[in-house]
Amino acid sequence: MSDILNVNNLVKCYDQFTLDQVSFAVPEGSIVGFIGSNGAGKTTTIKAILGLISYDGGSIELFSSSHKQDSASVAAKQRIGVVFDTLPFPADCQLSDIAALGKAAYPNWDAGLFKQLLRTFQIENTKHIKSLSRGMGMKLQLAFALAHHPELLILDEATAGLDPLAREEVLEILRNFMNDEHHGILISSHITSDLEKIADCVVCIDKGKHIFTKDIDEICDISGIAHCRAAEVEELLQKELFNPQSLRIIRSTYSTDILVPDRIKLAQAMPSLACDRTNLEDYMRFMLKGEIR
Amino acid sequence: MKTMLLSDLIIMRRNLSQMVAMCFIIVIIIAVAMNNTLAPIGGCFGAMIPLLYLFSIASYDEMNNWQSFRLTLPTSRKDVMIGRYMSIIIVAIISAVIGVAVSYLVGFVASLIGTQTGAEFGDMWNYTSPTGDFLSTLTLATNPPELIVGSSIGGAAMALFLSAITLPLVAKMGLTKGVRLVPLVGVVIFLIVLAAFGEGGPLAVYVPDVIQWVLSDDSAFVWIIVGGTLAVVVLYFISMIAALKLYKTREF
């Protein structure tokens, strides 16, 4: 499987923030979650990928062809569907205007598919943009993004502010999109539970720096959080079961929690030690806040 | 370019009909109530609609962050800017044509009822033409074609001139920030013209001759419109080149 999107050592410098050599890829057939705290640089990265901002170093390859500085190529953009966190169409437009915009913009615009998606999402064709709820707005954006048969979807906080039912509907749409093995999705989100449901791997950045890239299975199924007393911490560290750089320690008043890369291995070596499964949110918390021994 | 051109016109299509209706009401008030010639009709249509269009479409750019999303569509920044310039010039041409058509329509109606005096229409209209024929200044007989067509083209040229000043600023910093600098640019242009043609200016010596020519030559009006329009088209093209460079480096 080749990479649909490849970001290599991306650098973007602002006065008070630097996106510092961020690298990751979206292979065909995979959903890549893009996480990080507020101001980490996720939106900056996505803007650079989409050509909304220039960048100062590194490279971005879309569909195996690189684009420089000011914008992604027109040909590449024909193969991308974009969903932002807010509905980006002028508020006075009607849905028929949005369909006309799609037809004007994309050579492979599928008017029938757009109508069908609107029907599926129960969005009335006569509605003004300004009368759509947030959930409806996100679905409209998804319909617009999907109606030209893109190969790559880029979603920036697309599920933020949606109720659980609407979020589940959106995730279902994304799963259906991935039925084609040549498709790929880059989705940035603060709602890590959504990513646990659909992402194949997760890229985390913080303060402009790449923190980790991990398969979701490694995070949610293999790694774990060990709850240790002081003596157990030393014992665990002295056993050298894991690379010290892979452990993250968060100390609290009553215990010390250690993120370990393989909870089964730990359980075999130290059966008496309580070690829970972790989830993406905790994994990210440990990776960002945890202490390295 | 086609994508952007269509995108602008799709977004504005409902607003354009409102603008034409609003402009029609305004020109009727100006022309009829003030007992004017047909010139303001074409001038208003030619100038008002493109300018309303410019500021409306630039406002829409900033609404819901549309301008950022638009750049994710399969179109280049160059095409976005050229499309914007083309859409304005198309609207200006259509507005001038509408201006001519409305002028002839009003002139035709005024010619039909132009023999009646103002008094016959009651006090409301009496002050506009108390002694002469009502609407006599609006008849086709008193408004030659060059006045009707020239005023429409002149109005459109004025709109394009203001667009040529405004668009590079909007391209660089958006409407909200860019529009603040438009008056400043206007003042700078005014001062340059004043310095060139005012007392002591290098071109001041030609001013009396030009005034003499305008007053004595019947075709001067036509030449001023033609020359002015050509100058504006050149300025508009230069403005587009500048806007392309400014928009290329803009960050969203």
Return the percentage of chain A with pLDDT > 70, whole number.
97
Together in a domain, A157 and A281:
no
Together in a domain, A183 and A136:
yes
The tokens describing B236, both together, are 């508009």
Together in a domain, A98 and A148:
yes
Q: Which of A62, A89, A103 best tests the B interface by mutation, with the highest count of B CBs <10 A?
A: A89
Tell me the pLDDT tens digit for each residue of A120-160. 888 877 778 888 888 888 889 999 999 999 999 999 988 88
Tell me the pLDDT tens digit for each residue of A249-273. 998 888 899 999 999 999 888 888 8
For A59, list phi and psi in degrees, rounded to 5: -150, 155
Together in a domain, A62 and A141:
yes
Together in a domain, A16 and A158:
yes
Residue B202's contacts (CB-CB under 8 Å, 6 or more residues apart) are B196
Together in a domain, A88 and A34:
yes
| Chosen domain end from A218, A238, A266 | A218
C-alpha separations of A152 from A8, A181, A182, B123, B167 in Å: 18, 11, 9, 71, 34
The terminus-to-terminus CA distance of chain B in angstroms comes to 20
C-alpha separations of A179 from A30, A193, A199, B32, B173 in Å: 10, 21, 14, 67, 42
Q: Is B56 on the interface with A (CB under 8 A)?
A: no
Please tell me the total count of domains within chain B: 1
User: Is the model's pLDDT at A278 over the cut of 70?
Assistant: yes
Task: Label residue B226 exposed, middle or buried (CB < 10 Å: 0-12, 13-18, 19+).
Answer: middle
Per the structure, the complete domain to which residue A270 belongs is given by 223-289
Together in a domain, A102 and A240:
no
List, in sequence order, the alpha helices (H) in chain A: 42-50, 74-77, 95-105, 111-120, 134-146, 164-177, 192-198, 216-217, 230-239, 263-269, 280-289
SS3 at position B197? helix
Q: Is A70 on the interface with B (CB under 8 A)?
A: yes
Asked which of A64-68, A167-171, B48-52 is least confident by mean pLDDT, the reply is: A64-68
Q: What per-residue confidence (pLDDT) applies to A162?
A: 82
The tokens describing A65, both together, are 């062809």
Q: Is A84 on the interface with B (CB under 8 A)?
A: yes
Number of residues that this document lists for chain A: 293
Together in a domain, A65 and A137:
yes
Q: What is the CA radius of gyration of chain B?
A: 21
The tokens describing A158, both together, are 């697309």
Together in a domain, A206 and A231:
no
Q: Is A52 on the interface with B (CB under 8 A)?
A: yes
Together in a domain, A78 and A169:
yes
CA angle B62, B66, B69 (to 5 degrees): 140
Taking CA–CA distances from B68, the nearest residue in chain A reads: A52
Together in a domain, A124 and A211:
yes
Tell me the pLDDT tens digit for each residue of B61-117. 998 889 999 999 998 999 999 999 999 999 999 999 999 999 998 888 877 776 555
| Chosen domain end from A183, A202, A218 | A218
Please tell me the total count of domains within chain A: 2
| Chosen domain end from A186, A218, A250 | A218
Q: What is the ipTM of this complex?
A: 0.88
pTM for the model stands at 0.85
Taking CA–CA distances from A97, the nearest residue in chain B reads: B10
With CB atoms and an 8 Å threshold, state whether B248 touches A70.
yes
Together in a domain, A262 and A205:
no
Tell me the pLDDT tens digit for each residue of B212-243. 888 888 788 888 899 999 999 999 999 999 99
Sheet containing A184-188, strands listed edge to edge, beginning at the edge strand earlier in sequence: A65-67, A57-62, A3-13, A18-27, A209-215, A201-206, A31-35, A184-188, A152-156, A80-83
Q: Which helix (H) or strand (E) holds A270?
A: none
Compute the nearest-CA separation of A100 from chain B (Å): 7
With CB atoms and an 8 Å threshold, state whether B74 touches A74.
yes
CATH of the domain at A93: 3.40.50.300
SS3 at position B61? helix
The tokens describing B231, both together, are 């100058």
Per the structure, the complete domain to which residue B171 belongs is given by 2-248
Residue B140's contacts (CB-CB under 8 Å, 6 or more residues apart) are B104, B107, B108, B110, B111
